[in-house]
Amino acid sequence: MAQIVKQEQQQAVGLGAGEEEGAELLNKCRYAVMGEEELEMKVSPMEGYHLELKDDVVVTVGHIWRADMGDLLHQDPSLKRLCLSFALYKLLRRRIEDHPITDEETSSCRSLIFRGLRMELLRQSSKPQDLKSTVVAAALFQVFYEEIQFLCEYYHSVLPVVLSNPFFFLANYILFPVVVWAFCLLTFILCGNGDVAYAYRSITTDNYIISTGTLKVLGCLMRGVARYPDVLFTAVDLAVTMLLLLTFLYEQVWELLVFILSNWLTVSLLCEYAAKRRWRDSRVRAGLIRRILWVRNKMSRPNLCFKQASVLGFGRRLPAMALRLPKKKAVPIEVKESIMGYLVAHINDGPDADAPLSNGWSTLQLEKHSQFRSQPEVAKACKSKSVAEVVLTWHIATSLLEVKYPLQQEEKKKKKKTPVGARRTVATTLSGYAAYLVASAPELLPDSTEGTKRVYSDLTDELKDVLGGCWRYHASGQITRFDKLVGIAQGLPEEEETTTVVRKGAKLGNKLMEMASKGRGAEEQVWELLADLWTELTVYLAPSAGELHVKAHKEALALGGEFITVLWALCTHTGVTRPAGAPWETPPPADRSLV
């Protein structure tokens, strides 16, 4: 039975075909958006049970991409990508529900995303050549972010958005109220023994609140509260009744607006519009869809965000509080561009395609960072099988460098960052997010949860010892902590082998600050190293095939999903995995790639 279910779901979502690039590959994509539940299972003497993907039953991504929707898509070009997100959400939901995604499907999705959608976005972009990669990265991340939002609403939504389709709208918001009002009218008639006019006059004249007016009655009651204590209870009863009525009306109106403007209904309407000619020929339906899309375009969309923390408490007065209450900020576009550029370079047979996915060690082996490999502190910083140790070591070093070389006021005022500022943003924000994962979400990291908690607990104990006790750990200022760590790093002999995370991080940070001060362009080289390393390390944290990690990502959806969950979805669909062995122990063959 499990095999039948797996085969049924694989046929329902379909498989991409061919090696065509751009729009042609998207036009042929057979990922189902809607309608797969209408398929019937067939029995074949050779293939057993299978489902036939019929074009007149299932609306696929290809249907949406090649459908003639007139000027609908001119209002919002991302509507097609929203339908792709919905199709990918179904694939990922299957993985969460213990049905693995096959190698053939990951290969198909990898071609669709990186050779199909990416090439199409590059072709359609009207931006200058140097800004195209930024626009493409933002659009690709939006696809996977909206996919995660579909998952969040499917598993944890308190509103009926999952069943958002035109029939549900008609039944729940039009037919149901009509039936309720019909029963009310019937009761009204029966109470008046069939005399509707008499019943209406009785209600308007016998009911004091209706005949006088609610506000007048309430005002009269409020004036009499001081003289007549019993009036207080009548006023409270009336106020509670009105409050409940207004709450009910607000809830119904809010639910209706959420339903109409939800991504679920938008996808459903687009599928109906693309599949049925009578929808395209109907001016009423087309006008209704245009108005809904117009309202959606006027609304602000939620940004992809991640949380920031600092194990050293930099940027906060109380370091412990800085971890309990991490700051939340939108993911910078520089981070999206850096991560997407890294994936494209490896997946699309770029110059770094033969480098294995690692915890940053592969970045240090690149020719452009060769000057750092000769430094023992830098060369050994990634040689640990504990991901938490590597993250915290580089986080401490990055934090020290961030304090030593703060962002200039002129740079803050500029809308477009300089190359140094962009790399600094990538390094510092990814460093802060990785520290947050170690401190607050260890179950989402590749290491065992208990092992990560132990590493972090040892770090905090060591910091208390370094800073002079628990009181100074909580109360000392940023400059004091910075001077303490730099002083410890300078007091350690270069040949001494440091084993603790704080001392390793301080020594690494001190060496990077020393290299950044060597001359013109030295600081930019250091920030470039950190940006590249944190990009690779962040991607390294994302792939997870174990059931415990999949369960952790599913539980994270209850809080809206994490940034690493978006990366996990991207890696799951495109087949990005971590190698089994450490890269410094097992040199990769010449033809090795990530996927």
**Per-residue pLDDT, 456:** 94
State the pLDDT confidence band at 269, using cuts at 50, 70 and 90: confident
What is the arithmetic mean of pLDDT over 187-207?
74
Strand partners, 43: 49
> Could you give the CA distance from residue 36 to residue 13 in angstroms, rounded to a whole number?
8
State the pLDDT confidence band at 15, using cuts at 50, 70 and 90: very low
**Per-residue pLDDT, 54:** 62
**Per-residue pLDDT, 290:** 85
Residues 6+ positions from 57 with CB-CB distance below 8 Å: 35, 38, 39
- The answer to whether residue 484 scores a pLDDT higher than 80 is yes
State the pLDDT confidence band at 148, using cuts at 50, 70 and 90: very high
- The answer to whether residue 383 scores a pLDDT higher than 90 is no
Average pLDDT over all residues of the chain = 80
Q: Looking at per-residue confidence, does 515 or 324 come out higher?
A: 515
**Per-residue pLDDT, 452:** 93
What is the arithmetic mean of pLDDT over 194-207?
73
Strand partners, 60: 32
Q: Sketch the domain layout of the chain as residue ranges.
A: 166-298, 305-543
- The answer to whether residue 449 scores a pLDDT higher than 60 is yes
Residues 6+ positions from 17 with CB-CB distance below 8 Å: 28, 30, 108
Among the residue ranges 10-14, 50-54, 131-135, the one predicted with the least confidence is 10-14
For residue 317, give both structure tokens: 């007065």
**How many Cα atoms within 13 Å fall on the side-chain side of residue 24?**
5
> Could you give the CA distance from residue 238 to residue 210 in angstroms, rounded to a whole number?
13
**Per-residue pLDDT, 241:** 82
Task: Provide the residue type at 532 as one letter.
Answer: D
Q: What is the pTM of this model?
A: 0.84
State the pLDDT confidence band at 5, using cuts at 50, 70 and 90: very low
**Per-residue pLDDT, 272:** 84
- The answer to whether residue 295 scores a pLDDT higher than 70 is yes
- The answer to whether residue 562 scores a pLDDT higher than 50 is yes
